[in-house]
Amino acid sequence: MRKINIFDTTLRDGEQSAGVNLNLHEKLEIARQLERLGVDIIEAGFPAASKGDFQAVKQIAETIKGCSVTGLSRSVQSDIDAAWEALKGGAEPRLHLFIATSPIHMAHKLRMTPEQVVEAAVSAVKYAKRYFPIVQWSAEDACRSELPFLAEIVAKVIEAGASVINIPDTVGYITPKEYGEIFTFLRNNVQNIEKVSLSAHCHDDLGMAVANSLAAIEHGATQIEGTINGIGERAGNAALEEIAVALYIRKDYYNATTRLNLQEIKRTSNLVSKLTGMVIPANKAVVGKNAFAHESGIHQDGVLKEKTTYEIISPELVGVQSNSMVLGKHSGRHALRNRVEELGYTLAEEEINKLFVRFKELADKKKDITDDDLVALIFEEKFDHFKDFYQLSSIQVQYGTKQIPTAVVVLTDGAGNEIQEAATGSGSVEALYNTLERCFQTDVTLLDYRIESVSGGRDALAQVFVKVRVHEIETSGRGTAQDVLEASAKAYINAVNRVFMIEKMREENQKVTIK
């Protein structure tokens, strides 16, 4: 069977999803999970884009040793230099260079002639080869490029030293048949093409990203780029979990395999969904909540008699487990640590200690502590703390059907000062958010508010997700507590803290505009 390399760009293209702003801890956790999942390459970011991007790529490259880490770079020396500084500590440094090759992009965006584009691409690859053992070259908007020109530039960058050639469908325009034909054309018309790896990168604007990626495999691609849950610019990228499972289930047809540990799929999907705040639709293939639910009586009957009557993918294959009670009031620190490790999280001693305190508090109020509860607590301890920003000390909310809802909030700011405010609203949550807005002394627009229970039962933990806009920055936040109002307050503070953190980072370095 042919081996297909999986190139994950959740942390680069995926992080470009509207409203997604991951912090360093979150990026590192996703990178570690991608390593566990068994992806071959992690695209960790765009090092020249900002200091924050640079630092995240550098830390990921230095942490992850089980696969290659790469970063995106325009075809200019300053980008390549920044990428090398960020990536040189990695196990297998590789650079992802790109330049646009379609007439529309060359004329309107780059304002360069085709000859100038070829020259820029070739000299960038040559310059990158001085540092990087592996250089991947991408023809941005390849699918709207003229094929003879695409073949010409690909031949020249191969000659200059590129060893992976990526053919992105940047705008999600191509159909499976046409996409396959581009790969065939290049294989038939480019010298030395057999010496390089061909890569597919598809967007889902017409809902064909996964189908296009699979067509590319049929026509000689040996690398697939995509993201977990298919998140990404606009309608998103190709969903890697769908491609991996399709190759596995239909190996009779594709005769190709990946290195992925499919049992890590569900966990990876959950982690990415929670950290990015991007919800997985219930009917999403492979990882949706309903992907394995059989509703019709005839189907249920069939599955009970013989699973394969209606089930082509078993839930166990992708790591879906029914939620079992694992810990309770009498569980000790040791049991907690073991379970945290089994769930795949790495926590420092100090974090475990704090988690244990929260766990005990929860166990006093809630009989069964499920894995989902534990994960919610881990998230709070590990990712939702912004030590240098606002912290919730206490809330008090008064509500009655014949009263005006009123909230009192006490916060501490990064310097440890206590802030106390009170306000009213037409409902409890509004009163709470009006009060918090006073504490922050800035306008906050609430764009979205969602609440869900972490597990079943009346004593379940509440998890609130919000999306806010502050000073033109859109970001999401989340909060967990046993009470819905406390969870609501935490989510709001979490989102606003993220905005302040982004602003602080922007102050520290002037963000380069990405063209």
Tell me: is residue 471 an annotated ligand-binding position.
no
Would you report the helix, strand and coil content of the chain in percent, each value rounded to 5?
45, 20, 35
Nearer to Zn ion, 16 or 50 (CB): 16
Q: How far apart are CB 233 and Zn ion at their closest, in Å? A: 6
Q: Could you tell me which stretch among 10-18, 125-133, 183-191, 285-293 binds Zn ion (CB under 5 A)?
A: 10-18
Q: How far apart are CB 230 and Zn ion at their closest, in Å? A: 12
Smallest CA-to-CA distance from 442 within 380, 497, 391 is with 497
Question: In 10 A of CB 137, how many CB atoms?
Answer: 29
Nearer to Zn ion, 13 or 53 (CB): 13
Tell me: is residue 201 an annotated ligand-binding position.
yes
Q: How far apart are CB 217 and Zn ion at their closest, in Å? A: 18
Nearer to Zn ion, 70 or 463 (CB): 70
Nearer to Zn ion, 139 or 355 (CB): 139
Q: Restricting to residues 188-207, which ones interact with Zn ion according to CB under 5 A?
A: none
Tell me: is residue 237 an annotated ligand-binding position.
yes
Q: How far apart are CB 245 and Zn ion at their closest, in Å? A: 22
Q: How far apart are CB 9 and Zn ion at their closest, in Å? A: 7
Task: Give me 44's structure tokens.
Answer: 């960790």
- What is the Cα–Cα distance from 139 to 170, expressed in whole angstroms? 9
Cα–Cα distances (Å) from 32 to 60, 65, 116, in that order, read 9, 10, 40
Nearer to Zn ion, 150 or 481 (CB): 150
Smallest CA-to-CA distance from 280 within 317, 234, 238, 230 is with 230
> Strands, DSSP E only, in 350-472?
369-370, 391-398, 406-412, 418-424, 445-453, 462-470
Asked whether the CA dihedral 271, 273, 274, 280 is positive or negative, the reply is negative
Nearer to Zn ion, 13 or 381 (CB): 13
Examine residue 13 and tell whether it contacts Zn ion (CB under 5 A).
yes
Q: How far apart are CB 140 and Zn ion at their closest, in Å? A: 9
Q: Could you tell me which stretch among 12-20, 52-60, 80-88, 475-483 binds Zn ion (CB under 5 A)?
A: 12-20
Q: Could you tell me which stretch among 6-14, 331-339, 456-464, 469-477 binds Zn ion (CB under 5 A)?
A: 6-14
- What is the Cα–Cα distance from 301 to 495, expressed in whole angstroms? 46
Residue number of the CB closest to Zn ion reads: 13
Smallest CA-to-CA distance from 104 within 53, 27, 170, 8 is with 170
- What is the Cα–Cα distance from 240 to 211, expressed in whole angstroms? 12
- Chain residues binding Zn ion by CB under 5 A are 13
Provide the annotated binding site: 13, 201, 203, 237
Provide the annotated binding site for Mn(2+): 13, 201, 203, 237
